[in-house]
A and B are shown apart, each in its own frame.
Chain A
Amino acid sequence: MDLLLALGIGVVLALRPAEVPIGLRPTYLHLFIVGWISQLIFGVSHWMFPRASKEDPRGTEWLGWVAFWCLNAGLLLRVITEPFAHDGAGGIFLVVSGGLQLAAGIAYATHIWPRIKER
Protein backbone atom coordinates (compact mmCIF):
# COMPACT_ATOMS: atom_id res chain seq x y z
CA MET A 1 0.00 0.00 0.00
CA ASP A 2 2.71 2.48 1.03
CA LEU A 3 4.80 1.45 -1.98
CA LEU A 4 1.90 2.07 -4.36
CA LEU A 5 1.17 5.42 -2.74
CA ALA A 6 4.86 6.41 -2.94
CA LEU A 7 5.11 5.43 -6.59
CA GLY A 8 1.83 7.21 -7.34
CA ILE A 9 3.15 10.41 -5.77
CA GLY A 10 6.34 9.81 -7.77
CA VAL A 11 4.27 9.90 -10.98
CA VAL A 12 2.69 13.21 -9.95
CA LEU A 13 6.11 14.62 -9.00
CA ALA A 14 7.49 13.63 -12.39
CA LEU A 15 4.57 14.98 -14.43
CA ARG A 16 3.76 18.19 -12.53
CA PRO A 17 6.83 19.08 -10.44
CA ALA A 18 6.08 22.79 -10.35
CA GLU A 19 2.50 22.37 -9.15
CA VAL A 20 3.20 19.91 -6.35
CA PRO A 21 3.54 21.30 -2.79
CA ILE A 22 7.21 21.25 -1.76
CA GLY A 23 6.31 19.21 1.33
CA LEU A 24 5.27 16.29 -0.86
CA ARG A 25 8.89 15.42 -1.73
CA PRO A 26 9.94 14.28 1.76
CA THR A 27 6.55 12.54 2.05
CA TYR A 28 7.32 10.60 -1.13
CA LEU A 29 10.77 9.56 0.15
CA HIS A 30 9.46 8.50 3.55
CA LEU A 31 6.59 6.48 2.15
CA PHE A 32 9.15 4.61 0.09
CA ILE A 33 11.91 4.18 2.69
CA VAL A 34 9.90 3.93 5.91
CA GLY A 35 6.54 2.70 4.67
CA TRP A 36 7.88 0.16 2.21
CA ILE A 37 11.51 -0.90 2.77
CA SER A 38 11.72 -0.54 6.55
CA GLN A 39 8.24 -1.96 7.16
CA LEU A 40 9.02 -4.94 4.92
CA ILE A 41 12.19 -5.55 6.97
CA PHE A 42 10.14 -5.31 10.18
CA GLY A 43 7.68 -7.90 8.87
CA VAL A 44 10.19 -10.35 7.41
CA SER A 45 12.41 -10.26 10.50
CA HIS A 46 9.38 -10.83 12.76
CA TRP A 47 8.65 -13.90 10.64
CA MET A 48 12.13 -15.32 10.08
CA PHE A 49 14.33 -14.40 13.02
CA PRO A 50 15.26 -17.08 15.57
CA ARG A 51 12.53 -17.96 18.04
CA ALA A 52 12.45 -16.05 21.30
CA SER A 53 11.71 -19.30 23.14
CA LYS A 54 10.02 -22.64 22.52
CA GLU A 55 6.90 -21.60 24.42
CA ASP A 56 6.74 -18.10 22.96
CA PRO A 57 8.40 -18.26 19.52
CA ARG A 58 7.66 -14.68 18.40
CA GLY A 59 8.50 -13.08 21.74
CA THR A 60 6.84 -9.78 22.63
CA GLU A 61 4.37 -9.89 19.74
CA TRP A 62 2.36 -6.96 21.12
CA LEU A 63 5.40 -4.74 20.57
CA GLY A 64 5.36 -5.79 16.92
CA TRP A 65 1.75 -4.57 16.73
CA VAL A 66 2.69 -1.31 18.44
CA ALA A 67 5.42 -0.83 15.82
CA PHE A 68 2.95 -1.58 13.00
CA TRP A 69 0.21 0.79 14.17
CA CYS A 70 2.53 3.60 15.23
CA LEU A 71 4.54 3.47 12.02
CA ASN A 72 1.48 3.57 9.78
CA ALA A 73 -0.44 6.13 11.85
CA GLY A 74 2.65 8.35 11.95
CA LEU A 75 3.21 8.05 8.23
CA LEU A 76 -0.45 8.66 7.40
CA LEU A 77 -0.49 11.78 9.57
CA ARG A 78 2.63 12.95 7.79
CA VAL A 79 1.18 12.30 4.34
CA ILE A 80 -1.93 14.32 5.19
CA THR A 81 -0.28 17.27 6.94
CA GLU A 82 3.30 17.70 5.66
CA PRO A 83 2.53 18.95 2.14
CA PHE A 84 0.68 21.88 3.69
CA ALA A 85 2.99 22.50 6.65
CA HIS A 86 5.33 25.44 6.46
CA ASP A 87 6.48 28.20 8.79
CA GLY A 88 4.90 26.57 11.79
CA ALA A 89 1.56 25.70 10.16
CA GLY A 90 0.38 22.13 10.74
CA GLY A 91 2.52 22.16 13.88
CA ILE A 92 1.25 19.67 16.38
CA PHE A 93 0.34 17.06 13.76
CA LEU A 94 3.93 16.83 12.57
CA VAL A 95 5.14 16.58 16.18
CA VAL A 96 2.71 13.71 16.79
CA SER A 97 3.72 12.10 13.47
CA GLY A 98 7.40 12.18 14.44
CA GLY A 99 6.59 10.87 17.92
CA LEU A 100 4.58 7.96 16.50
CA GLN A 101 7.36 6.99 14.09
CA LEU A 102 9.94 7.16 16.89
CA ALA A 103 7.68 4.99 19.06
CA ALA A 104 7.47 2.51 16.16
CA GLY A 105 11.26 2.35 15.88
CA ILE A 106 11.73 1.85 19.62
CA ALA A 107 8.97 -0.78 19.78
CA TYR A 108 10.41 -2.73 16.85
CA ALA A 109 14.01 -2.58 18.15
CA THR A 110 12.86 -3.70 21.62
CA HIS A 111 10.79 -6.50 20.10
CA ILE A 112 13.42 -7.92 17.75
CA TRP A 113 16.56 -7.40 19.90
CA PRO A 114 16.11 -10.56 22.03
CA ARG A 115 15.59 -12.62 18.87
CA ILE A 116 19.03 -11.73 17.50
CA LYS A 117 20.76 -14.80 18.84
CA GLU A 118 24.36 -15.85 18.28
CA ARG A 119 25.21 -19.51 17.85
Chain B
Amino acid sequence: MPPASARLQRTALLYLVVGIAIGATLLAAKGLGFTLPYVPLMLLHAELLLVGWLLQFTMGVAHWMLPKHAAGPERGPEGPVTAAWLLLNAGVWLAGLGPVMAWPAVVGGAGRAAEVGAVLAFAINAVPRIKPFGVGRLAG
Protein backbone atom coordinates (compact mmCIF):
# COMPACT_ATOMS: atom_id res chain seq x y z
CA MET B 1 0.00 0.00 0.00
CA PRO B 2 1.18 3.59 -0.54
CA PRO B 3 3.13 5.25 2.30
CA ALA B 4 0.36 7.81 2.86
CA SER B 5 -2.16 5.00 3.47
CA ALA B 6 0.15 3.24 5.90
CA ARG B 7 0.71 6.50 7.79
CA LEU B 8 -3.04 7.17 8.08
CA GLN B 9 -3.78 3.62 9.22
CA ARG B 10 -0.99 3.40 11.79
CA THR B 11 -1.96 6.74 13.29
CA ALA B 12 -5.61 5.59 13.40
CA LEU B 13 -4.62 2.43 15.31
CA LEU B 14 -2.90 4.53 17.96
CA TYR B 15 -6.07 6.58 18.40
CA LEU B 16 -8.10 3.38 18.62
CA VAL B 17 -6.13 2.16 21.63
CA VAL B 18 -5.91 5.56 23.38
CA GLY B 19 -9.60 6.28 22.68
CA ILE B 20 -10.76 2.93 24.08
CA ALA B 21 -8.49 3.37 27.12
CA ILE B 22 -10.22 6.67 27.91
CA GLY B 23 -13.62 5.06 27.35
CA ALA B 24 -12.74 2.14 29.62
CA THR B 25 -11.66 4.61 32.32
CA LEU B 26 -14.96 6.47 32.03
CA LEU B 27 -16.88 3.18 32.22
CA ALA B 28 -14.91 2.16 35.31
CA ALA B 29 -15.65 5.54 36.90
CA LYS B 30 -19.34 5.03 36.20
CA GLY B 31 -19.28 1.53 37.64
CA LEU B 32 -17.22 2.25 40.74
CA GLY B 33 -18.72 5.67 41.34
CA PHE B 34 -15.53 7.76 41.36
CA THR B 35 -15.55 11.25 39.93
CA LEU B 36 -13.85 12.32 36.70
CA PRO B 37 -14.33 15.37 34.49
CA TYR B 38 -16.86 13.28 32.59
CA VAL B 39 -18.00 15.62 29.80
CA PRO B 40 -14.55 16.82 28.61
CA LEU B 41 -13.16 13.26 28.70
CA MET B 42 -16.21 11.90 26.92
CA LEU B 43 -15.76 14.54 24.19
CA LEU B 44 -12.07 13.59 23.86
CA HIS B 45 -13.05 9.88 23.74
CA ALA B 46 -15.55 10.57 20.94
CA GLU B 47 -13.11 12.76 19.01
CA LEU B 48 -10.32 10.20 19.14
CA LEU B 49 -12.52 7.31 18.09
CA LEU B 50 -14.87 8.91 15.55
CA VAL B 51 -12.37 11.17 13.78
CA GLY B 52 -8.97 9.84 14.85
CA TRP B 53 -9.83 6.16 14.40
CA LEU B 54 -12.86 5.63 12.13
CA LEU B 55 -12.46 8.56 9.73
CA GLN B 56 -8.68 8.33 9.50
CA PHE B 57 -8.58 4.56 9.01
CA THR B 58 -11.26 4.82 6.32
CA MET B 59 -9.25 7.53 4.55
CA GLY B 60 -6.17 5.30 4.64
CA VAL B 61 -8.00 2.33 3.16
CA ALA B 62 -9.77 4.49 0.55
CA HIS B 63 -6.50 6.03 -0.64
CA TRP B 64 -5.10 2.53 -1.04
CA MET B 65 -8.11 0.85 -2.68
CA LEU B 66 -9.99 3.40 -4.80
CA PRO B 67 -9.58 2.88 -8.57
CA LYS B 68 -6.20 3.92 -9.91
CA HIS B 69 -5.57 6.40 -12.74
CA ALA B 70 -4.49 4.97 -16.08
CA ALA B 71 -1.98 7.79 -16.69
CA GLY B 72 0.25 9.77 -14.35
CA PRO B 73 0.68 8.82 -10.69
CA GLU B 74 -1.65 5.83 -10.29
CA ARG B 75 -3.14 7.10 -7.03
CA GLY B 76 -3.00 10.80 -7.92
CA PRO B 77 -0.89 13.39 -6.11
CA GLU B 78 0.27 12.40 -2.61
CA GLY B 79 0.52 16.02 -1.42
CA PRO B 80 -3.18 16.49 -0.62
CA VAL B 81 -3.27 13.19 1.28
CA THR B 82 -0.27 14.20 3.38
CA ALA B 83 -1.94 17.57 4.01
CA ALA B 84 -5.12 15.73 5.03
CA TRP B 85 -3.14 13.63 7.53
CA LEU B 86 -1.49 16.71 9.06
CA LEU B 87 -4.72 18.73 9.25
CA LEU B 88 -6.81 15.85 10.56
CA ASN B 89 -4.41 15.10 13.40
CA ALA B 90 -3.96 18.74 14.32
CA GLY B 91 -7.75 18.98 14.34
CA VAL B 92 -8.24 15.90 16.52
CA TRP B 93 -5.87 17.19 19.20
CA LEU B 94 -7.13 20.79 19.15
CA ALA B 95 -10.81 19.83 19.17
CA GLY B 96 -10.33 16.91 21.54
CA LEU B 97 -8.03 18.49 24.09
CA GLY B 98 -9.75 21.89 24.03
CA PRO B 99 -12.49 20.95 26.52
CA VAL B 100 -10.12 18.88 28.69
CA MET B 101 -7.59 21.70 29.01
CA ALA B 102 -10.33 24.34 29.22
CA TRP B 103 -8.84 26.16 26.24
CA PRO B 104 -10.90 29.00 24.70
CA ALA B 105 -13.66 27.83 22.35
CA VAL B 106 -11.77 29.31 19.41
CA VAL B 107 -9.17 26.53 19.78
CA GLY B 108 -11.82 23.84 19.43
CA GLY B 109 -13.26 25.77 16.48
CA ALA B 110 -9.84 25.89 14.84
CA GLY B 111 -9.55 22.14 15.37
CA ARG B 112 -12.88 21.49 13.70
CA ALA B 113 -11.89 23.85 10.84
CA ALA B 114 -8.68 21.86 10.41
CA GLU B 115 -10.76 18.69 10.17
CA VAL B 116 -12.88 20.29 7.43
CA GLY B 117 -9.66 21.24 5.64
CA ALA B 118 -8.45 17.65 5.98
CA VAL B 119 -11.58 16.29 4.32
CA LEU B 120 -11.34 18.86 1.50
CA ALA B 121 -7.66 18.02 0.93
CA PHE B 122 -8.47 14.31 0.91
CA ALA B 123 -11.31 14.90 -1.55
CA ILE B 124 -8.92 16.60 -4.01
CA ASN B 125 -7.16 13.27 -4.33
CA ALA B 126 -10.09 10.88 -3.90
CA VAL B 127 -12.96 12.41 -5.91
CA PRO B 128 -11.29 12.00 -9.35
CA ARG B 129 -10.66 8.35 -8.45
CA ILE B 130 -14.33 7.59 -7.85
CA LYS B 131 -15.46 6.33 -11.24
CA PRO B 132 -17.37 3.44 -12.78
CA PHE B 133 -15.47 0.25 -13.47
CA GLY B 134 -13.30 0.47 -16.60
CA VAL B 135 -13.64 4.24 -17.15
CA GLY B 136 -10.13 5.02 -15.90
CA ARG B 137 -8.56 2.64 -18.39
CA LEU B 138 -10.37 4.19 -21.34
CA ALA B 139 -10.33 7.87 -20.43
CA GLY B 140 -7.01 7.96 -18.56
Contact = CB atoms under 8 A, between A and B. Distances in A.
Interface string A10-38: 00000000000000000000000100011
Interface of A: 33, 37-38, 41, 45, 50, 78, 81-82, 85-88, 90-95, 97-99, 101-102, 104-106, 108-109, 112-113, 116-119
Q: Sorted from nearest, which 6 A-B pairs have the closest CB atoms?
A: A88-B33, A94-B31, A98-B24, A98-B27, A105-B20, A91-B31
B10 A95 contact: no
B100 interface: no
Given A33-B49, A91-B31, A101 B23 contact: yes
A93 B26 CA distance: 13
Contacts of A102: 17, 20-21, 24
29 contacts: A38-B54, A41-B54, A41-B57, A41-B58, A45-B61, A50-B1, A85-B31, A88-B31, A88-B32, A88-B33, A91-B32, A93-B31, A94-B30, A95-B28, A95-B31, A97-B27, A98-B24, A98-B26, A98-B27, A101-B20, A101-B24, A102-B20, A105-B17, A105-B20, A105-B21, A109-B17, A116-B6, A116-B10, A118-B6
Interface range, B side: 20 to 34
Contacts of A78: 27
Contacts of B57: 41
